[in-house]
Amino acid sequence: MTKLSVNINKIATLRNARGGNVPNVVQFAKDCERFGADGITVHPRPDERHITLKDVYDLAPVVKTEFNIEGYPDARFMEIIRSVKPAQATLVPDPPHVITSNTGWDVNKNKQLLIDIVQEIQSYGVRVSLFLNPEIHQVQEAKLTGTNRIEFYTGPFAEHYAENKNIAVAPYVKAAKAAYDIALGINAGHDLSLQNLQFFKQSLIHLDEVSIGHAIISDALYYGIENVIQMYKRLLQ
């Protein structure tokens, strides 16, 4: 079954907007796990606009499911991975100033960097996932880095889902088959929601994990986080 990792960046954003420690990021992560989340995802950006370095170290001993840390693999990020040793490190290509990760790696252009980084992270016993656009040649190049998994950037799928969901998902189906055929694990994330998740999951039969934050937190304002996690998990069955 496809696992659901809850990205809790937005909880930190809400806390930081007011100062103090409400909502409590660590407690929220623990509650997400209690309500059925299969993992917790964070993206500790250098400007600490949401998740802070302290949050990461506070979460590390508390998360009992899979802890997934996203980020650009600079020296700061690599020190976090070395120290925390999460279950998974998801490598994204975006520079520090962007609002959210909105494109995948150009693997060929960054191949030697990624080979070196993947090897180092794996030496810590951490699984590696590379953030990719749904392009077969990127998938094939990713395999050469030694990564364990890829994570498809699903923004374009979500953007065009209402227009024609079959056309929107087609590149992902093809790229996922290419990944499965060469034994790469398949993750996905970005703008997946209650509206489009089930169709995406049904279209990619070998999907290992989805990481969802913005939509889950937004839906939780109406339905409550416990209900929402169960709603999303049902769509992944």
Catalytic residue chosen out of the listed positions 33, 43, 141, 151: 43
In whole angstroms, what is the distance from residue 177 CA to residue 203 CA? 11
pLDDT over 90 (residue 96) = no
In this prediction, what percent of the chain has a pLDDT beyond 70?
A: 97
Catalytic residue chosen out of the listed positions 33, 50, 66, 70: 70
Q: How confident is the model at residue 102 (pLDDT cuts 50, 70, 90)?
A: confident
| Burial (CB count within 10 angstroms: exposed 0-12, middle 13-18, buried 19+), residue 112 | exposed
In whole angstroms, what is the distance from residue 192 CA to residue 154 CA? 7
Catalytic residue chosen out of the listed positions 141, 151, 190, 209: 190
CATH fold of 3-235 reads: TIM Barrel (3.20.20)
Active site (annotated) includes residue 70:
yes
Active site (annotated) includes residue 43:
yes
Query: pLDDT value at position 14?
Result: 97
pLDDT over 90 (residue 44) = yes
